Amino acid sequence: MRTPTLTYTANTVELRRSKRLLSFPVIATAVVLFLVAPASQRASLAQEEGASAGLSQAIEDYLNAQDELAALEQEQQDLEAELADSEAEVAQLNADLDEYAYIAYTTSDFQSTAALMASGNPSDALNAMTMLEFLGESRAVRLNELTTRLAEIEATQQTLDDNIIEQEDLAEEMEAARDEAARELAGAGGDSATGPSPGDFPDPEDAPRNGDGSLPYEGCTENDPTTGGCLTPRTLHALEQTQLAGFTRYTKCYRNGTWGEHPKGRACDLSSEPGGFGGDAYGEDKAYGDNLAAWYVENAGELGVQYVIWYRQIWMPSTGWKSYNLGGGDPSSDHTNHVHLSIR
């Protein structure tokens, strides 16, 4: 690296520097992603009893990719802060050097230095040398260091920006892979995973919204992995987030009909027991349904929930839980063997 040089003039100090490119670590491409959840939840997500190994790996991959991206963004913020501090110090040092140069010029110190040095007066010569050393080394050397660092920061910033773009692209690819793994698990008939409990609920990702925060109108345009029918994008998003959260038991969404949300691709029925819709849920199966319904209620705003039906009760954002007596006395009609989710 070539050291920047200082050229002193009567009223200013001119800086000349050369730039050099820095070698910056290239982001490893072997990073992967899934549901944004606190680190403390990763082990439980990955080790959920009966959970798909592929989905668990997709979750871990997504988290790793998000962590890598967050680290790069933090490094970018730190670099910007250092750049601002360095530029401020350079400006102050330039002002100091201009002031010293002006004082030296107006007091004829520069012009008299040669005479002082040749005068034979050791004290005067020492004072002159001390002044020049203070000006040249204490200020100019530091200024040289800073201007060199500014050039390094400039080169590092460009490389960092490029790496962040690459990591963002990678994160998007892994998010798509994660969602695909969730859809495959939803369409596989479910497994025996018990799902999280209220104290361990992971947060879902928010459903896409308009710029003003409202939910966009959506048609039944996406493939339903549970039936081969169709779902709205928001309903598919809710289904994916349900799987990612660890609620992976048997599910059916689209259903032909002339009324309700199922024919519109805006509803799913999620069994409280593994493998299919059975009788009234008891014990662990009842707890699973309780937890799933509670998770939907807790995250209704994020997912765009219209209402939830479970165990002869219906929840709506405007009313909370109310008695549901429209069933026909069987487990499916009374929703005692599955949680019904409708999405706006």
Q: How many folded domains does the chain comprise? A: 2
Could you read off the pLDDT of 291-304 as tens digits, one per residue? 999 999 999 999 99
In angstroms, the CA 54 to CA 32 distance is 12
Among 163, 186, 209, the domain boundary falls at 186
In angstroms, the CA 287 to CA 195 distance is 10
Could you read off the pLDDT of 226-253 as tens digits, one per residue? 998 999 999 999 999 999 999 999 999 9
Across the chain, which distance is largest between two alpha carbons, in Å?
116
Q: Residue 246 half-sphere exposure, CB side, CA atoms within 13 Å? A: 24
In angstroms, the CA 265 to CA 223 distance is 9
User: 325, 315 in Cβ contact below 8 A?
Assistant: no
Could you read off the pLDDT of 289-335 as tens digits, one per residue? 999 999 999 999 999 999 999 999 999 999 999 999 876 789 999 99
Query: Does 141 lie in the same domain as 16?
Result: yes
In angstroms, the CA 316 to CA 237 distance is 20
Residue 244 lies in a domain: yes
Query: Does 149 lie in the same domain as 178?
Result: yes
Query: Does 202 lie in the same domain as 179?
Result: no
> What number is the average pLDDT over the span 178-207?
86
Among 159, 186, 213, the domain boundary falls at 186
Residue 193 lies in a domain: no
Could you read off the pLDDT of 97-118 as tens digits, one per residue? 677 667 666 665 544 555 555 5
Query: Does 241 lie in the same domain as 161?
Result: no
CA distances 193 to 52, 57, 92, 179, 266, Å, are 9, 16, 63, 18, 25
Residue 287 lies in a domain: yes
Query: Does 230 lie in the same domain as 117?
Result: no
Task: Return the pLDDT at 29.
Answer: 28
Query: Does 34 lie in the same domain as 170?
Result: yes
Among 140, 157, 186, the domain boundary falls at 186
Query: Does 129 lie in the same domain as 86?
Result: yes
Q: Residue 163 half-sphere exposure, CB side, CA atoms within 13 Å? A: 23
**CA neighbor of 54 nearest in space, from 165, 171, 156, 182:** 182
Residue 192 lies in a domain: no
Rounded to the nearest 10 degrees, how much is the dihedral formed by the CA atoms of 21, 23, 24, 27?
A: 120
Beta carbons within 8 Å of 131's beta carbon, 6+ residues apart: 104, 109
Task: Return the pLDDT at 289.
Answer: 97
Task: Return the pLDDT at 55.
Answer: 79
Query: Does 181 lie in the same domain as 202?
Result: no
Query: Does 278 lie in the same domain as 141?
Result: no
DSSP one-letter code for 335: T
Residue 210 lies in a domain: yes
Q: Provide the residue range defining the domain that includes 214.
A: 198-343
